[in-house]
Amino acid sequence: MAPSAMTSWTKSLSDAQPVPYWLQDPGKPHPEPALTGAETCDLLVVGGGYSGLWTALIAKEREPERDVVLLEGREAGWAASGRNGGFCAASLTHGLPNGLARWPEEIHTLQELGARNLDAIEKAVARHELDCEFERTGEIDVATQEYQARELRDWYAEMERAGLAEGVEYLDADAVREQVDSPAFRAGLWDRRGVAMVHPAKLAWGLKRACLRLGVRIHEHTPALSLKPYGAGMAVRTPYGSVRARRVALGTNIFPNLVRRVRAYTVPVYDYALMTEPLSEEQLASIGWKNRQGLGDSANQFHYFRLSADNRILWGGYDAIYPYGGRVRAEYDDRPETYAKLAGHFFTCFPQLEGVRFTHAWGGAIDTCSRFSAFFGTAHRGRVSYAAGFTGLGVGATRFGAEVMLDLLAGEETERTSLAMVRKKPLPFPPEPFAWTGIAVTKWSLAHADAHGGRRNLWLRTMDRLGLGFDS
């Protein structure tokens, strides 16, 4: 790139605050008091992100008389649930290609359950009056290279043969640029109903308020420190007290699971995003985007981007950073070298927006597992359930995971619990230094494939055969 272009891109970041745009909203609720003393309940939920909040809410909707307590180590929605791109997808399998490759015999059921789950989220938004800027606009997967355009055409044909193309439209270069105008776009697949856009933090805060209205007792700034059997139930220790519960649901995702054997199944991968200033009418007109779909490109190291309610562009992805040892640390949430890279990519995609400035730049950890989609289980003779490994698609899939956790705690055989996806675990990650080395080699190989027409080297082909995945 030319030095002048680099100067222009870096200037666009000069005013960017290193904090998540979503979490600065003035509608942020006050935290609930920390737990002090001893409490008892029927169901204890650990984690105040989407996973825990949906679990608590659905538990009360299923059984209004059930006594539910929720513990959150910081504040509801402060971690991944308040930092993501706000893509609320129907897919439970991290996209149809991943699901079809792993569970071909169940894919129609998984697709139907995912669609029903997204419908249920939309109904819950209306029923509980969740002010989360819900827009069911769909998403376009765009090709920015000719080989990607060929792959999209081939994939669309495969979807049609499998009877999985309902609601999906193939767009050639002219058609995709009619929707969103970028000189980089060669083709696209528009899933018209399978994705909604939301304000992610407002969704979490709305779920918190709904839980409180239904009688859930929420304690924030209350980390759960240990989990042990206690009589016929379980006991959880906190810094200033404890909770005894008949059943426990763990929705802590990337943070260390209270069931130690679960920890090897996830690693933290740090993802980063930029948010522009609001676009003027002229700037919006220069790129189109009248239908406000979410977008993502088709590379292995991909970008995701969407419009906010006030017509800012969120631009994220590409870099996926795994810290050695799998540590989750606040200092990893800020990475200027990635912001500069993302800014350059943004103006390559939308050169007509030259001069636009970024107001916010931030990062956060994604709970990644080796099959890219959530896994589930129980511990302590069925008194504890957990869900984790949503790998970046948890905005929608966590609600499904909440229902699975509650089904498992009830000991019920349901359409959800009978799925192979629910009954089987992914492969765990190896210990260090093998995890870091394997992920580093995989990232290099994915970048090499993107630069060489999508051709996957021996390492990636081996990972494919083993069912191991990793991308941005």
What is the domain-level CATH number for residue 203? 3.50.50.60
Q: Which pLDDT value is given to residue 104?
A: 95
Question: What distance in Å separates the CA atoms of residue 463 and residue 430, rounded to the nearest whole number?
Answer: 14
Convert the pLDDT of each residue in 347-380 to its tens digit: 999 999 999 999 999 999 999 999 999 999 999 9
How deeply is 423 buried, as exposed, middle or buried, from its count of CB atoms within 10 A (0-12, 13-18, 19+)?
Answer: exposed
The residue-averaged pLDDT of 213-232 equals 97
Clarify whether residues 168 and 282 are in a common domain: yes
Check residue 446 and give left, alpha or beta (phi > 0: left; psi -120 to 50: alpha).
alpha
pLDDT band at 7; cut points 50, 70, 90: low
Q: Indicate if the pLDDT at residue 115 is higher than 70.
A: yes
Give the burial string for 296-333 (b: 16+ CB within 10 Å, else e).
bbbbbbbbbbbbbeebbbbbbbbbbbbbeebebeeebb
**Span of 4-18, 118-132, 234-248, 398-412 with lowest mean pLDDT:** 4-18
Residue 289 vs residues 49, 183, 218, 296, 350: alpha-carbon distances, Å: 31, 14, 40, 14, 12
Question: For residues 206 and 225, what is the distance between their CA atoms, to the nearest angstrom?
Answer: 27
Does residue 471 lie within any of the structural domains? no
With residue 241 as reference, give the H or E element that holds it.
strand 241-250
Q: 439 vs 164, which has greater pLDDT?
A: 164
Domain membership of residue 472 (yes or no) is: no
At 239-264, the pLDDT tens digits run 999 999 999 999 999 999 999 999 99
Residue 463 predicted with pLDDT over 80: no
pLDDT for the residue 157: 96
Q: Which ranges of 128-248 does DSSP label H, i.e. alpha helix?
A: 146-161, 173-179, 200-213
Q: Is 359 found in the same domain as 314?
A: yes
| Whether residue 202 is found in the same domain as residue 254 | yes
Q: What is the pLDDT of residues 273-322, one digit of tens each?
A: 999 999 999 999 999 999 999 999 988 789 999 999 999 999 999 988 99
Check which CATH number belongs to the domain holding 182 and give it: 3.30.9.10
Residue 211 lies in a domain: yes
Of 385, 415, 367, nearest to 55 by C-alpha is 385
At 469 the pLDDT is 61
Position 8 confidence tier, pLDDT thresholds 50, 70, 90 = low
Cβ contacts of residue 313 below 8 Å, gap of 6+? 275, 276, 279, 305, 306, 307, 346, 350, 353, 356
pLDDT band of residue 470 (cuts 50, 70, 90) is low
The per-residue pLDDT for 54 is: 98
* 397 lies in the same domain as 345: no
Q: Are residues 423 and 302 in the same domain?
A: no
Q: Are residues 91 and 216 in the same domain?
A: yes
Q: Answer whether 440's CB lies under 8 Å from 123's CB.
A: no
- Our measurement of the distance from residue 56's CA atom to the centroid of its chain's CA atoms, rounded to an integer in Å, reads 19
Q: What is the mean pLDDT of residues 173-196?
A: 97
Question: Do the domain assignments include residue 306?
Answer: yes
Verify that 252 and 384 share a domain, yes or no. Answer: yes
**Residue 152 maps to a domain:** yes
pLDDT of residue 6: 52
The pLDDT tens digits for 16-45 are: 999 999 999 999 999 999 999 999 999 999
Tell whether 356 and 295 lie within a shared domain: yes
| Amino acid of residue 246 | R
| Residue 233 included in any domain | yes
Distance of CA 472 to the CA centre of its chain: 12
What is the mean pLDDT of the segment spanning 56-80?
Answer: 98
DSSP structure class, residue 415 = T
Beta strands in 61-133 (DSSP E): 68-71, 87-89
Q: How does the average pLDDT of the chain come out, rounded? A: 93
What's the Cα-to-Cα distance from 107 to each of 103, 395, 413, rounded to whole Å? 6, 20, 19
**Contacts of residue 440, Cβ cutoff 8 Å, sequence gap at least 6:** 322
pLDDT at 63: 98
Q: Note the pTM of the prediction, 2 decimals.
A: 0.95
433 preceded by a cis bond (ω within 30 of 0) = yes
pLDDT of residue 471: 54
Enumerate the β-bridge partners of residue 250.
Answer: 46, 386
Same domain, 35 and 156: no
Domain co-membership, 189 together with 285: yes
Residue 290 domain-assigned (yes or no): yes
Task: Determine the 3-state secondary structure of 377 from DSSP.
Answer: strand
**108 and 73 within one domain:** yes
* Residue 167 pLDDT > 70: yes
Q: Are residues 419 and 302 in the same domain?
A: no
Report the alpha-carbon distance of residue 354 to residue 276 in Å, rounded.
Answer: 12
Please state, in angstroms and rounded to a whole number, the distance separating the CA atoms of residues 429 and 62. 36
d(CA 12, CA 218): 41
Residues pairing with 197 in the sheet: 87, 135
Inform me whether the pLDDT recorded for 160 exceeds 90. yes
Q: Is the pLDDT of residue 227 over 90?
A: yes
Task: Note if the bond before 20 is cis, omega within 30 degrees.
Answer: no
Do residues 268 and 254 make contact, with C-beta atoms less than 8 angstroms apart? yes
**Above 50 in pLDDT, residue 4?**
no
Decide if 330 is inside a domain: yes
pLDDT at 5: 45
Residue 77 phi, psi dihedral angles, 5° rounding: 80, 5
Q: DSSP 3-state assignment of 244? A: strand
The parent domain of residue 53 ranges over: 31-133+197-263+377-429
Q: Residue 91 above 60 pLDDT?
A: yes
CB 3 within 8 A of CB 31: no
Structure tokens at 408: 């498992």
pLDDT attached to residue 468: 67
Total number of domains constituting the chain: 3
* HSE-CB for 393 with a 13 A CA cutoff: 25
